[in-house]
Amino acid sequence: MSETTAKADTPLRRAILGSLVGTSLEWYDFFLYGSAAALVFNEVFFPSFDPLTGTLLSFLTFAIGFIARPIGGVLAGHYGDRFGRKKVLLFTVSLMGASTVAIGLIPTYATIGIAAPILLIIIRLAQGFALGGEWAGGALMIAERAPAARRGFLTSFVQVGVPIGTLVSTAVLYLMSSVLSREAFVQWGWRVPFLLSVVVVAIGIYIRRQVAETPAFTETKERDRGTRAPILTLLRTQPIDVLRVIGIRAGADIVYYLLVTFLLTYVTTTLGLPRNVGLLATLIGAGMQLFTYPAFAALSDRYGRRKVTVFGAAGAFVWMFVFFPLVDTKSTGLIVLAVLGGLLFHSAMYGVQASWICELFDTQHRYSGASLGYQLSGIVGGSLAPTIAVALLQVSHSTTLVVAYVCAAIALVLVTALLTRETRGGELRDLGTTTTVESAS
């Protein structure tokens, strides 16, 4: 590689590193909450209820974070489209870190009574607000620099932040729950992973300060093509694309939270297995997705975003009929296999989304469009997925309704993907206003 090429690639490499690290930290914080809600929050914040009902209430506080995500997404999109992607990303990572540390410091129900879950809900709202602006900004920092032929693969490193965050948060919880007694873990051990955010958020802020603003945004500002109200322009010109994002995203979200969050409750509360069994399956699955996200994204650069997504949705639909029979064997190996199979097909759906979603919107309101669609889909999909799954399990005393719920969500992904235009290989400045891109058909 020549010196000129190396210098040209430096901003892109910094953008990839900044987005990867920042997104990993954000998802570490967010998934840490989900895992703790499944394992310990029922005892710490809702001790007066039976274990399953306490877990259900814990998952409701988990869902509350999703309510704040569209609000954060709209505000982040507004300021990101008007004043720059970088400034917003520095704010989101700082707020997420502060919120997570605060959770680690909340007194328990036994100490301050009802004030404990109230504080938990308030801080959870701040977490959701921060995450609402994170994903789209990280994706745009890469997508608006990446060459068209490799945009899917390079932008997928934003998605890789999800399994890294899952892997690290689950690993820390796994370690703490393994070396401590149940009493010690409930009393103070669960707090340690939350307090560790002090260190990791400092690293994230440092890295993001080194990343320059994207050329696409800079060009738009220089030409004075920005709008005062990007979200209003978006809703006037591309409302159907926002709905397409929701359709593609929501089902994939539901699959993921079933495999990662609901599984932890199911294997411990329903099957009576040690909590480490579910954590181990999640760890191995997250490790696999470090590679499967970029792999499927690279395939989308060759064969198209739509084809890869359809493959993932069809595979996940079939796998749902295999998943619970494998888990119900109570065999650790087969439980791991059940999770791996589900996450493999999820990778095909999720790995291509960063590039596909960014490619659907114009530069002037791309941050707003990507944020709003992505975060609204979180409410429809992932926010209530664990809660609905637990409720269906309580009502039916079997997993039949849970499978039906997830399969209906996957069918939505399949239909929406087939109705969404292919964008692979197009120039980013043109894709938002192009009704069809046939180069990858």
Q: How do residues 111-143 score in pLDDT, each as one tens digit?
A: 888 888 888 888 888 888 888 888 888 888 888
pTM, whole model, 2 decimals?
0.81
Q: Tell me the domains of the chain and their CATH numbers.
A: 12-431 (1.20.1250.20)
Going by C-alpha positions, the residue among 316, 348, 349 that lies closest to residue 249 is 349
Mean pLDDT over each residue of the chain, to the nearest integer: 83
Instruction: Encode 18-50: b = buried (16+ Cβ within 10 Å), e = exposed.
Output: bbbbbbbbbbbbbbbbbbbbbbbbbbbbbeeee
Residue 22 in this model has a pLDDT that exceeds 90: no
Residue 93 in this model has a pLDDT that exceeds 90: no
- CA dihedral over 278, 280, 282, 285, signed as positive or negative: negative
Torsion, Cα 321 323 329 335, to 10 degrees, reads 170
Average pLDDT over residues 226-239: 79
Residue 426 in this model has a pLDDT that exceeds 80: no
Going by C-alpha positions, the residue among 75, 17, 8, 20 that lies closest to residue 354 is 20
pLDDT at 435: 42
pLDDT at 434: 44
pLDDT at 186: 82
- The SS3 assignment for 166 reads helix
